[in-house]
Structure 1
Amino acid sequence: MTEPIKDDVVDLLTRQHNEIRSLFIKVTQAGGKEKREFFADLVWLLAVHEATEGEVVHPMARKEIDDGDEVIEHRLEEEQDAKEALAELHDLGVDHPEFRTKLLALAEAIAAHATYEEDEEFRFLRERVPPGLLQEMAGAVEAAQARVPNRERVEADKSTDATPADAPLAIFEHVHDAVREWRLRDR
Structure 2
Amino acid sequence: MGHGGNVIEELMADHREVEEMFARIQAMTGSGQQLRDLIDEITIELVRHSVAEEQYLYPAVREHVEGGGLMADKELEDHGRVEKILKQLEKMDTDDTRMSTVLHQLMQEVASHVQDEENNLFPMLRRACSPEQLDDLGDKIRRAKAMAPTRPHPAAPSTPMASKLLAPGAGLVDRARDFVTGRGKS
Q: TM-score range by the shorter chain?
A: 0.7 to 0.9
Shift, 1:177, TM fit? 4.1
> Which amino acid in structure 2 is aligned with residue 42 of structure 1?
I
Partner SS for 2:52: helix
**Residues 1:91 and 2:75 are matched in the alignment:** no
| Alignment: residue pair count | 159
* Cα distance change of structure 1 residues 180 and 131 upon mapping to structure 2, 3 Å threshold: farther
Bigger drift between 92-101 and 37-46 goes to 92-101
Partner SS for 1:93: coil
- The question of whether the paired residues in 2 share the 8 Å contact of 1:26 and 1:35 is answered with no
Instruction: Determine what percentage of the aligned residue pairs are the same residue.
Output: 22
Partner SS for 1:50: helix
Give TM-score scaled by structure 1 length. 0.76
Structure 1 residue ranges (4+ consecutive) displaced by more than 6 angstroms after TM superposition: 178-181
2:179 corresponds to: none
Q: What is the alpha-carbon distance in structure 2 between the residues aligned to residue 178 and residue 130 of structure 1? A: 30
Shift, 1:176, TM fit? 3.9
1:24 corresponds to: 22
**Residues 1:127 and 2:111 are matched in the alignment:** no
2:182 corresponds to: none
1:138 corresponds to: 138
2:6 corresponds to: 8
* Cα distance change of structure 1 residues 22 and 177 upon mapping to structure 2, 3 Å threshold: farther
**Paired residues for 1:1-187 under 5 Å:** 7-30=5-28, 31-148=31-148, 165=150, 167-169=151-153, 176-177=164-165
Q: What is the alpha-carbon distance in structure 2 between the residues aligned to residue 178 and residue 7 of structure 1? A: 26
For structure 1, list consecutive stretches of 5 or more residues without a partner in the other structure: 1-5, 150-164, 182-187
- The question of whether the paired residues in 2 share the 8 Å contact of 1:87 and 1:168 is answered with yes
Bigger radius of gyration? 1
> Which amino acid in structure 2 is aligned with residue 16 of structure 1?
D
Q: What is the alpha-carbon distance in structure 1 between the residues aligned to residue 116 and residue 10 of structure 2? A: 16
Bigger drift between 84-93 and 8-17 goes to 84-93
- The question of whether the paired residues in 2 share the 8 Å contact of 1:71 and 1:120 is answered with no
* Cα distance change of structure 1 residues 9 and 131 upon mapping to structure 2, 3 Å threshold: same
Give TM-score scaled by structure 2 length. 0.76
> Which amino acid in structure 1 is aligned with residue 123 of structure 2?
R
- The question of whether the paired residues in 2 share the 8 Å contact of 1:92 and 1:99 is answered with yes
Q: What is the alpha-carbon distance in structure 2 between the residues aligned to residue 179 and residue 105 of structure 1? A: 26
For structure 2, list consecutive stretches of 5 or more residues without a partner in the other structure: 158-162, 170-186
- The question of whether the paired residues in 2 share the 8 Å contact of 1:64 and 1:125 is answered with yes
